[in-house]
Amino acid sequence: MKLGHVLQKAERGEPLSSHELQFLLELSKPDELNQVFELACRLRDRYFQNKVFLYGFIYFSTWCRNDCTFCYYRKSNMHPNRYRKSEVEVLEAAKRVADSGVHLIDLTLGEDPFYYKRHGFGSLVKLVNKVKMNTGLPVMVSPGVVPEQVLSDLYIAGADWFACYQETHNRELFSRLRLNQSYDARFSSKKNAMRSGLLVEDGILTGVGETLSDLAFSLESMFRLGAHQVRVMSFVPQKGTPMDHWTTPPRVRELLVIALLRILMPDRLIPASLDVDGVEGLQARINAGANVITSLIPPQLGLAGVAQSTKDINEGYRTVQGIIPVLNQMGMRAASLEEYSCWILN
């Protein structure tokens, strides 16, 4: 297979086969990788010019009933100092991050029994509605798997997005990562969300034991799902978890997947998450074809990240102020709220 041929095909907008995707995933020579990254950026710029969208992140409950092997907040882990922020605290954090200039607020939680059982989902729906009303910004909810009716209630309450990452589209690997969880229930929740009117984000992890053919299959699965936003994050090993002793994968893998997501889905939103390598990792991810910066966290409110629970947060680096100089230095700029709202409406 010739790299030039495959890239030309992609540039013309022709779909790539799984063999071609795998061929691209195998690349390792710097000049070949650069050709892929450059194509990804050209395709991104064709649809988004130099505009980048900014997402505020509020992980408001770190309690969880699940035991995902990769996650610091799995229920069996005794290390985390867990918290569940009150409504007042969530609204305060939302206001702060909204005032800082983000385009969206991502309300994320573990599958916290407080929201999942005792009080039903009513309090989650109400919270989403209050955040929406108070900030006037688009809202994403990342609650894990919830019943179809709840997705519809969230939409009516003002949610715009439902984020739920499959992590891998290999069922057997899924069962080793998300212990005792249903692959089908997780995947269907995204289809249900779309039916309810929500925009959907899917995503995968690298460095969790996947093969290149698993990655190619994930790329195709996310394409077929028609997800509006698609992400990849490198696995970061967490203290006190079964995967504590794994090593974090070389970043080139995440960057290559970002580029291939872009090549396959040029008009979709693709995050550069600050949660993996902080602000230091931003430039490489944008240069691989990302067009959204996620995990902007209001400092000093005791809010955590996920893959990096504390990195750069209290220092105030994971903020709009912290990333604007990096963007501008690259010739990119933060979009206006109007530009983001237009994208959502289309």
CA nearest to 159, candidates 176, 143, 178:
143
Q: Which of residues 128-187 bind ligand SF4 (CB under 6 A)?
A: 144
Angle between helices 212-225 and 251-264 (to 10 degrees): 30
Is residue 166 a contact point for ligand MD0 (CB under 6 A)?
Answer: no
Is the Cβ of residue 110 or residue 281 nearer to ligand SF4 in the bound state?
110
State the number of binding residues for ligand SAM (CB under 6 A): 18
Q: Where are the beta strands (DSSP E) in the chain?
A: 51-61, 104-109, 139-142, 161-163, 199-206, 229-234, 271-273, 292-296, 333-334
Contact call for residues 150 and 125 (beta carbons, < 8 A): yes
Subset of 102-121 contacting ligand SF4 (CB under 6 A): 110-111
Applying CB under 6 A, the span of 228-236, 311-319, 322-330, 332-340 interacting with ligand SAM comes to 228-236
d(CA 279, CA 338): 25
Q: How far is the CB of 3 from ligand MD0 (least distance, A)?
A: 31
Applying CB under 6 A, among 10, 48, 52, 110 the residue interacting with ligand SAM is: 110
CA angle 46, 50, 54 (to 5 degrees): 115
The site for ligand MD0, by CB under 6 A, has a size of 11
Segment interacting with ligand SAM, rule: CB under 6 A, options 106-114, 121-129, 194-202, 217-225: 106-114
Q: Find the binder of ligand SAM among 53, 70, 121, 340 (CB under 6 A).
A: 70
Q: Where does this chain touch ligand SAM (CB under 6 A) — which range of 103-111, 124-132, 209-217, 262-270?
A: 103-111
The DSSP-derived string for 266-278 is: TTSB-EEEHHHHG
Contact 265, 237 (CB under 8 A): no
Tell whether residue 71 is a contact of ligand SF4 (CB under 6 A).
yes
